[in-house]
Amino acid sequence: MSTITSSLSQDQEKKLLSLFGHARLHLLYKASVQGFTADAFHSRCDHQGPTVIVAFNTAGRVYGAYTSKDYTKSGQPVIDGEAFLYSIKAEEPKPLKVVGIAGQPAFTDVDTSPDFGALVFLHDNKPSVLSNPGTNFNFQAPGHARGRLCTDRAGSLGILLKKPWRNIQWTTEKKQELLQNISKYRPGISAVPQARILLVGPVGAGKSSFFNSVNSIFRGSMTCQAIAGTADKSVTTQYRTYRIMAGKRGQSLPLVLCDTMGLEEMTGAGVDIEDLFNIFRGHIVDRYQFSPSGPLMPDSPGYKTLATLNDKIHCIAYVVDTCKASILSQKMLDKFDMIRKKASQMGIPQILLMTKVDEACSLVADDLRTIYHSVYIQKKARDLSQCLGIPLSCVIPVKNYSEELEPDQDTDILLLTALMQMLHYSDSFLENQLIYEEQEGHSLQQSDKSCEILRPGL
């Protein structure tokens, strides 16, 4: 199959890119090849982040529209302060850029043709553009598009910051430092031999893949100890607690990654929220089979009545697919909110892993080291921070291993950095337990059997 390419000339593309600063374009849809229909447009352009529509008229001029928002077919008018219309002429050194009228929506997010008010592309599912001057934008289109219309994804793939929004070292020395720090890590309480970290997230977000990826780093080769998949329903149906070994026959590292059934929107589907709360408290044992009929009860097999501090969760890592960050349903957000509030009430630190960053941003796919230069990844991190109520400092983008046969240093550094942060947060939880016991005037021995407290560094 031949590769579909944009019809933009080198000069036209250069002028278009000048509207974005540091940018790169990736072709999502070409109407002359894939069809002049709204269905063809939405099937390829919905939920793709910032996009720019490129239309060509019979006189050879180029014009179109840019939005920083997703197309979702919501049927609602969309306010976008970054949206604009543009026109490119061969005889003009710079493109014309027209911003929206204050207070007016940038476009109407319908399931038909892309409707920017002043310009309606693919009008009546034909190779034409309807012009409505003064509607949303004070812009007069230079004739109608005939035969060609392209949609390029701009912001989600190419806009780069001059300075990274988070500093990270990509050296071999940094990777070795992270490996050593994790291997030498010890919790500050003697009765807690390892930090216990719970992975929580929607089906297919990459929870099991995160464990497999971390495990692969320490094994030195690709592993698939936790069953992962891409099905609509959760591949993980049991509660699993995974230890990580330093090498094939090495010692167990001082941490346990706990994997759960995925969250689903519908009631009675996916992991039950009450089961998660039982896991928080340490009442559910390894290999417990989650039941769709309801949560585990105290009188049921598999319920651990006397849970110690070692059984409890010390840190929660929410796992979210970056590509789906903007389409999390309200029901899913409500579930996250319930979990977050309960975890906060119990004093459990929480972190958020943004997975599949390479699928969300092509520049990151080409070079993982651009991850903290990517405007799109930064925007998604901020969006997730806001909608899930997690501080931005606790939102960490990562890339799991999915198709690789050999480990990659840059991927390892991102994963190890996230894991190290989880251990720091686990320490915070355990330190808070120590402070609580000191304030209450009784020892952890009463609630967690023989549990000795050690202050790190003393």
pLDDT digits (tens, 9 = 90+) for 236-272: 678 899 998 887 777 889 999 999 988 988 776 778 8
pLDDT of residue 228: 60
pLDDT of residue 229: 52
Q: Contact, 201 vs 262, CB < 8 A?
A: yes
Q: How far apart are CA 245 and CA 255, in angstroms?
A: 10
Q: How far apart are CA 315 and CA 299, in angstroms?
A: 27
Q: Contact, 433 vs 451, CB < 8 A?
A: no
In the chain, the N- to C-terminal Cα span, in Å, equals 66
Q: Which amino acid is at 431?
A: E
- Predicted confidence band of residue 221 (pLDDT cuts 50, 70, 90): confident
Give the pLDDT confidence of 321-370 residue by residue, as tens digits. 998 887 788 999 999 999 999 999 999 999 999 999 998 887 788 899 99
Tokens for 50? Answer: 């910032």
What is the C-alpha radius of gyration for the chain, rounded to an integer number of angstroms?
26
* Average confidence (pLDDT) over 134-141: 59
Contacts of 364 (CB under 8 A, 6+ apart): 357, 358, 370, 371, 374, 377, 399
User: Any idea how long the chain is?
Assistant: 458
Q: Contact, 375 vs 159, CB < 8 A?
A: yes
Q: Which domains does the chain have, with CATH numbers?
A: 10-153 (no CATH), 172-448 (3.40.50.300)
pLDDT of 293 strictly over 80: no
φ and ψ at 231, to 5 degrees? -70, 160
Q: How far apart are CA 362 and CA 16, in angstroms?
A: 19
Residue 405 CA: distances (Å) to CA of 339, 380, 408, 417: 36, 29, 9, 22
H helices of 230-353, in order, are 273-281, 330-345
Q: What is the mean pLDDT of the chain?
A: 84
In terms of DSSP bridges, do strands 315-321 and 288-289 run parallel, antiparallel, or are they unpaired?
unpaired
Q: How far apart are CA 60 and CA 55, in angstroms?
A: 10
Residue 445 CA: distances (Å) to CA of 191, 384, 458: 10, 40, 21
* Average confidence (pLDDT) over 305-331: 90
Give the pLDDT confidence of 176-195 residue by residue, as tens digits. 999 999 999 999 787 888 99
100: which DSSP letter?
P
φ and ψ at 196, to 5 degrees? -115, 115
pTM higher than 0.85: no
Give the pLDDT confidence of 79-134 residue by residue, as tens digits. 998 999 999 999 899 999 988 887 788 899 999 989 898 788 888 888 878 777 65
